[in-house]
Chain A
Amino acid sequence: MTEATTQPLLASALDGDRSSLARLLSHIERDPRAETEIRTFLASKETESVVIGVTGPPGAGKSSLISALLPHTTSSFDRTAVLAVDPTSPFSGGALLGDRVRMQNHGLGDRVLIRSMASKGESGGLARAAATATQVLAACGWPLILVETLGIGQVELDVMDLATVIAVVLNPGWGDTFQANKAGLTEAGDVFVINKADKDGVQQTRADLQDSLSLLQSPVPIQIFETTAVNEDGVAALWQGIETYLADAQATGLQEQKLRTRRRRLLMRILQSGCEARIESYCCSDHGSAQVERALAGELSIGALQADLYANISQPE
């Protein structure tokens, strides 16, 4: 697809055409330059969309939980988009995107849009295009967007950059008090879910989490919910908890603060990719590639190469 098709596709997607939206999402996945173009274009557009990040270790039940949440989310927000990220194989480049298997039977028709995305080598728990895809979905009028991360370990928390609220999904028997006090995952959650709560060990996991969370400074209380997603136990209470969190976050100014942080990160990323493009074109130019070769041969110091690079890329285009 050529660059010339990006704008018409975007226009038609913004107009509400669902298959254009789907093609646009593929387009930004495949073409980093189109992604930057769209990200820059949409950065100035304010949307009211709420983005809920759902994260946690592999097999915790994130997809099943999202599936069980859909009847609730659509009753509050009318329509819900789900962006579900699964891993790309580092061996073949292929991927088995299986989140949809758990979400298929929502019976909510066109009010739900599910899009699967492969991580394509990103290490932050999302795919490169996930943030822009979320922006696109918001701009196309999806009022609520659920973003399911890869199954993550401790620090793959890119989802923090795009979510209004983050639900961390864990299971009974997950770690102990030391695990709960390690940095990363337990600091990132706004709402905690102990899923598969029909298994042993719920009370211990809750107690360990509670201990750890009690030390965090949050203007909005962080709650822990117990669910068994496959039979919908506790899911209504969880959704109520998320809605309460959203209302509290708005009332205390926390949401505004998060939005500012998010917009700043987005801006930084746009600036960064602009710089990267300039570095790339410097390295590909006759002069730049010769300088790089000289540095590799030891004829030019890294400092001198850097100085030459900065002198060259700081010229206005």
Chain B
Amino acid sequence: MQKRILMAKTGLDGHWRGPTIVARALRDAGFEVIMIGMANTDDIVTSAVDEDVDLVGLNVGGHIDVAIRAIESVQRVRPELPIFAGGTITPRAAKQLEALGVEVYPPGSQLTDIVDAAERLTGTK
């Protein structure tokens, strides 16, 4: 049965190409991808719960603190839920995210690597 992935953007309402292409690749790999677009922490937490997703994909834009707040809030409600992140993430910010158990796919990551990660994190493969 199809696994469900929540795709959300934190920070700015722009740079849509990345998450859109990633969502498309995940769809083509057989996932049900729930797009919520630009979202604040509450929206992301509510969506993760109500949509009963198996994985959260965060597109990080803007300040890393916003993403960290969202991640910590999701982890409070669903500690077992895996999260991975992409977008414009500096090496320093990547370390902060990884310390929270989040896998990071910075610019230049291959779509196949992202799909592989989604399969591994949801236990599809």
Distance in angstroms between the alpha carbons of A120 and B32 in the assembled complex: 10
Q: Using a Cβ–Cβ cut-off of 8 Å, how many residues does chain B contribute to the interface with A?
A: 29
Chain A, residues 79-96, CB within 8 Å of chain B (1/0): the string is 000000000110111111
Q: Is the CB of A118 within 8 A of B32?
A: yes
Q: Which A residues, 97 to 141, have Cβ-Cβ distances below 8 Å to chain B? A: 97-98, 100-101, 104, 109-110, 113-116, 118, 120
Contacts of B29 in A (CB 8 A): 92, 94
CB distance from B116 to the nearest CB of A (A): 15
Q: Is the CB of B27 within 8 A of A92?
A: yes
Q: Is the CB of A97 within 8 A of B30?
A: no
Contacts of A120 in B (CB 8 A): 2
Chain B, residues 10-53, CB within 8 Å of chain A (1/0): the string is 00000000000001101111111111111100110011011110
Q: Is the CB of B32 within 8 A of A26?
A: no
Distance in angstroms between the alpha carbons of A291 and B42 in the assembled complex: 58
Q: Is the CB of B52 within 8 A of A94?
A: no
Q: Is B99 an interface residue (CB 8 A)?
A: no
Q: Is A265 an interface residue (CB 8 A)?
A: no
Chain B, residues 34-76, CB within 8 Å of chain A (1/0): the string is 1111110011001101111000000000000000000000000
Q: Is the CB of B51 within 8 A of A94?
A: no
Q: Is the CB of A94 within 8 A of B28?
A: yes
Q: Is the CB of B52 within 8 A of A25?
A: yes
Distance in angstroms between the alpha carbons of A12 and B24 in the assembled complex: 35
Known: A94-B26, A96-B27. A23 touches B36 (CB 8 A): no
Contacts of B51 in A (CB 8 A): 22, 100, 115-116
CB distance from B50 to the nearest CB of A (A): 5
Q: Is the CB of A19 within 8 A of B31?
A: no
Distance in angstroms between the alpha carbons of A118 and B42 in the assembled complex: 24
Contacts of B24 in A (CB 8 A): 96
Q: Which of A22, A109, A118 contacts B50 (CB 8 A)?
A: A22
Q: Closest residue of chain B to A22, judged by CB?
A: B52
Distance in angstroms between the alpha carbons of A307 and B43 in the assembled complex: 57
Give 8 nearest A-B pairs by CB, closest first: A94-B27, A22-B52, A101-B37, A26-B52, A94-B30, A97-B34, A95-B32, A93-B30
Write the residues of chain B forming the contact surface with A, with a CB cutoff of 8 angstroms.
1-2, 4, 23-24, 26-39, 42-43, 46-47, 49-52, 77-78
